[in-house]
Amino acid sequence: MYKVLLVDDDKAMLCGLRQYKEWKSCGFLIEEEAFDGKDALKKLSTKYFDLIVSDIRMPGMDGLRFLSEIKARNLDSCLMLMSTYNDFEYAQQGIRLGVFDYIVKPVKNEVLSESLKRIQRYLDEKRVQHTCRLEEKKMIIEDNLRFYFPKSQVKKLACLLLEGNYAVLDEAASTCSELSRQTNYDLYKMSLLLEGILQNVWEEMGNMFSWLAALEPLNFDDPFENCRSCNELKQQFIHCITIMLETVLKYELHHSDSLIRKACRFAMIHVEEDITLDSLAREIYISKNYIGKLFKQKTGCSFAEYVTKVKMEHAKYLLATGEYKNYEISDRLGYSSPDYFCRLFKGYTGHTPIEYRKMGT
């Protein structure tokens, strides 16, 4: 199903649009609604929509300003404008901004149906082309990596990361310098190779910590899109490796002690449950006093402090989605009191959940 965002300040209009049966029959699902362009941009910052249907005249940020922002951010969602006959001049401006279709209010059943069918055909073709490009890109990356960058080098980067060893940053810089020479400073080929290396390293980490991707989703698709020189490629590659290193250190994954890893794994898998030292001890069949002392000795923090860290990091992710209220996040994380959750969050981040949410908008 293609995901849809409806944008209109008229609640009755939004309600009416939701009633059309054509959405489902044409393969569309209304995921979100927004009441002006600013509200819509907030939702677009955390979620991708295949189709955006927007009114032109809205208070705050109107439809045309909203479309300009979408274009400036290089978002490739399909766009449909709605307006009255009197706004046709505005609609023409929208078409110049890349709008796929334009329909007149009040929206007629047959008009919407025909428009959605055209958009469905366009999105189907776009999806096929995207899949073909990804397959072609994957083949190019795999073929070139075998030639330029042996698997042993990927494993070396992954091992340094999993040890929490900052030497991985020097290794990353060395990797870029070597690839620059081998590819004769071909930016496109270098960007593909470096992207492939990042994906392979993250895959190596995922093989050891399969639950990590769900808690800390890192996306390395087109990370070098805006790089215009070998030096920019190098800096971006080191930045991505740094993010992975910080993730390993943040979740204490660099410890070789199997009991510590089991404790960390337990906290991360059960992040949305009530986690205690007692429940950990039962899970790994170890005395709670022993595992408690060992965890403190190896990590420098108590298991309870570690659990709070994991929960607060997950809270940051949930807040960034914009889909949950504070009390809902508190409940999901296993806290009985939203006030207690807010105090913990401010103690961990220095900001209240409301302040943190605003920082991301």
Q: How confident is the model at residue 283 (pLDDT cuts 50, 70, 90)?
A: confident
Please tell me the predicted confidence (pLDDT) of residue 264.
Answer: 87
Per residue in 7-48, pLDDT tens?
888 888 888 888 887 788 888 988 888 888 888 888 887 778
| pLDDT at residue 87, as a whole number | 59
Residue 156: pLDDT band by 50, 70, 90 thresholds?
Answer: confident
Confidence of residue 357 (pLDDT cuts 50, 70, 90): confident
- Which pLDDT tens digit goes with each residue over 75-131? 788 888 887 766 556 666 656 666 788 787 778 888 888 888 888 888 888 887 766
pLDDT of residue 89: 62
Cα 12 from Cα 15, distance rounded (Å): 5
Does pLDDT of 147 surpass 60?
no
Residue matched to tokens 């008009």: 111
Taking 90 as the threshold, does the pLDDT of residue 242 lie above it?
Answer: yes
As a whole number of angstroms, the distance between CA 200 and CA 223 comes to: 14
Instruction: Look at residue 194 and tell me whether its pLDDT is greater than 60.
Output: yes
Looking at residue 161, its pLDDT comes to: 86
Please list, in sequence order, all residues whose beta carbon lies within 8 angstroms of the beta carbon of residue 252, skipping any fewer than 6 positions away: 260, 264, 299, 306
3-state SS, one letter per residue, for 113-136: HHHHHHHHHHHHHHHHHHHHHHHH
Instruction: For the chain, list the strands marked E by DSSP.
Output: 2-7, 28-34, 51-55, 78-83, 101-104
What pLDDT is recorded for position 148? 62
Q: What is the pLDDT of residue 360?
A: 60
Measure Cα distances from 150 to 28, 96, 359 in Å: 44, 48, 42
Res 138: pLDDT: 64
Helix (H/G/I), strand (E/B), else coil: 185: coil
pTM of the predicted protein model:
0.54
